[in-house]
Amino acid sequence: MYYYRTSVGIFFIAQRSDRWHVLFDDESLGSYVTPQQAADDLAGGHTFSPGHGIDTSKLGIPDNINEWTKGKP
């Protein structure tokens, strides 16, 4: 599991079965083959939008998974 804190809350990239999911407020914003693909899409605003109408491309989320924190917050 990876997580990144933003001004609107914590985004997670977590493995479920054999896929990696971008999660925000227990809502899946998409599933990916690798955590790096998930970070890329989230940082670029290319995931499903969170229910709050947040544009994730404007939150400063890094597209490099190595800049995320590994583990649980």
What is the full per-residue pLDDT of the chain (73 aa) written as tens digits? Answer: 999 999 999 999 999 989 999 999 989 999 999 999 999 999 999 998 877 778 999 999 999 999 999 999 8
Indicate the pTM of the whole model: 0.92
- pLDDT at residue 48, as a whole number: 87
Tell me if 21 sits within 8 A of 34, measured CB to CB.
Answer: no
Give me the pLDDT at residue 53, please.
79
Phi and psi (nearest 5°) for 41? -65, -40
Spatial distance between the Cα atoms of 19 and 30, rounded to a whole number of angstroms: 10
Number of Cβ atoms within 10 Å of the Cβ of 38: 27
Here the tokens at position 32 are: 């990916």
